């Protein structure tokens, strides 16, 4: 008790070590990013401040305007700008088409910030509307990921079959050739890395195609258009560049339809790509942990928050024991959300060889899935079968 952990019932297992290591690496990643962005952007910010100060001084001196009165006018414009008023004529913010564009940015979690509710009733409604809408959209993205995996598994199987047929030796009889092909297919498993590559290529193609459209319709540079595509598709949504905001466009209906389709496809592909990349990151963490264990070092032993972590782990374990009969435990949920390469590759293999596996889900309305949905659906299926 004296020199050990304050909570002996909460062992430093692999999940805790992975979590601590990932938190440390993310913090280090943020420190590096902050240093790079500060070096790149801070000098430009200082020059912009100096230029703005000179412009204010020149304006007040040229037109003999009181500087305090000008600042008051600028503050009033900032308030009007928050309500959607701009110097240049833009599309109405809260007609039906503008409101539909706004709710699209809400449920997709992009949130450009160009349009925000200004009334108290609108802000209250947004809280409840976003709660349901964002949850439903995340469900849609997960189901989209399942179908993408299924489709890619069939495509990769077809490509593998074609490669086997083209590479078959002519000296073999047709029966031996067929038998050999079946044996090769039986042991074949589609690679998860191919899935990541295909999703990456699809995302690049969509982003490049959308950038061509935006650069011609919005008068942006091609680089700015690519930047907007990543910010929008990844749902970061800074709002410095926002498409389809001018009042009039050439072929306006076709452009707005294309804009919505590009954003929808881009968000789905980037979300799926992020999920697959997170699996690769988890495998990298496992490799790092394996190296640390082999060298006799454990990431949690030197963690400055070790005591707090043990206390929190013990409390979580106690809550999990009390609610294990009724709820999905936190450990099961987090483990399921971090699908390993083996699990995803197994699903790809099953899909490619015999189609999606049948389960109780078809009897009670729930279907199998990947990620957090899989463990939740399985638990719901077990509960319904027991009853």
Question: What is the C-alpha separation between 375 and 142, in angstroms, rounded?
Answer: 13
4 vs 99: which has the higher pLDDT: 99
Instruction: Select from 199, 165, 192 the least CA-distant residue to 351.
Output: 192
Is the model's pLDDT at 152 over the cut of 80?
Answer: yes
pLDDT digits (tens, 9 = 90+) for 136-148: 999 999 898 888 8
pLDDT digits (tens, 9 = 90+) for 262-289: 999 999 999 999 988 988 888 888 888 8
Residues 6+ apart with CB under 8 A from 70: 56, 59, 60
pLDDT digits (tens, 9 = 90+) for 71-96: 898 888 888 877 767 777 777 778 88
pLDDT digits (tens, 9 = 90+) for 160-176: 788 877 876 544 545 55
Question: What is the C-alpha separation between 74 and 71, in angstroms, rounded?
Answer: 5
Question: What is the C-alpha separation between 32 and 134, in angstroms, rounded?
Answer: 31
Residues 6+ apart with CB under 8 A from 345: 189, 190, 191, 192
What percent of the chain has pLDDT above 90?
Answer: 31
pLDDT number for residue 325: 39
pLDDT grade for 133, boundaries at 50, 70 and 90:
very high
pLDDT number for residue 7: 45
Q: CA 311 → CA 1, 6, 299, 335, distances in Å?
A: 14, 7, 17, 21
pLDDT number for residue 350: 64
Most confident of 85-94, 230-239, 300-309: 230-239
pLDDT grade for 8, boundaries at 50, 70 and 90:
very low
Mean pLDDT, residues 29-50: 93
166 vs 213: which has the higher pLDDT: 213
Q: 187: which DSSP letter? A: T
């Amino acid at each position: 008790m004296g020199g050990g952990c304050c909570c002996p019932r909460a062992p430093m297992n692999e999940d805790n070590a992975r979590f601590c290591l990932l938190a440390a690496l993310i913090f280090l990643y943020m420190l590096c990013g902050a240093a790079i962005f500060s070096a790149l952007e801070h000098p430009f910010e200082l020059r912009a401040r100096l230029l703005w100060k000179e412009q204010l001084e020149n304006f007040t001196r040229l037109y003999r305007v009181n500087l305090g009165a000008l600042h008051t006018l600028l503050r009033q414009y900032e308030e009007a700008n928050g309500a959607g008023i701009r110097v240049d004529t833009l599309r109405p913010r809260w007609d039906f088409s503008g409101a539909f564009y706004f709710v699209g940015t809400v449920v997709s979690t992009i949130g450009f910030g160009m349009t925000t509710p200004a009334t108290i009733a609108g802000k209250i409604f947004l809280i409840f509307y976003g709660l349901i809408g964002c949850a439903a959209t995340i469900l849609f993205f997960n189901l989209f990921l399942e179908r993408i995996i299924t489709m890619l598994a069939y495509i990769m199987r077809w490509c593998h079959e074609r490669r086997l047929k083209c590479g078959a030796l002519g000296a073999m009889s047709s029966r031996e050739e067929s038998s050999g092909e079946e044996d090769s297919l039986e042991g074949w498993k589609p690679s998860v890395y191919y899935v990541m590559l295909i999703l990456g290529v699809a995302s690049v193609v969509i982003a490049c195609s959308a950038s061509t459209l935006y650069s011609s319709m919005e008068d942006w540079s091609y680089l700015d258009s690519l930047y907007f595509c990543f910010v929008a598709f990844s749902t970061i949504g800074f709002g410095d560049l926002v498409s389809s905001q001018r009042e009039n466009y050439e072929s306006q209906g076709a452009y707005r339809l294309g804009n919505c389709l590009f954003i929808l496809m881009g968000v789905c592909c980037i979300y799926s790509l992020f999920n697959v990349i997170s699996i690769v990151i988890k495998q990298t963490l496992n490799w790092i942990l394996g190296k640390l264990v082999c060298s006799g070092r454990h990431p949690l032993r030197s963690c400055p928050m070790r005591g707090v972590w043990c206390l929190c782990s013990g409390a979580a374990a106690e809550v999990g024991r009390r609610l294990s009969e009724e709820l999905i435990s936190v450990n099961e949920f987090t483990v399921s959300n971090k699908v390993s390469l083996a699990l995803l590759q197994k699903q790809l293999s099953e899909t490619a060889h015999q189609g999606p596996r049948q389960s109780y889900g078809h009897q009670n309305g729930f279907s199998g899935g990947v990620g957090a949905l899989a463990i939740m659906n399985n638990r719901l299926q077990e509960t319904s079968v027991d009853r």
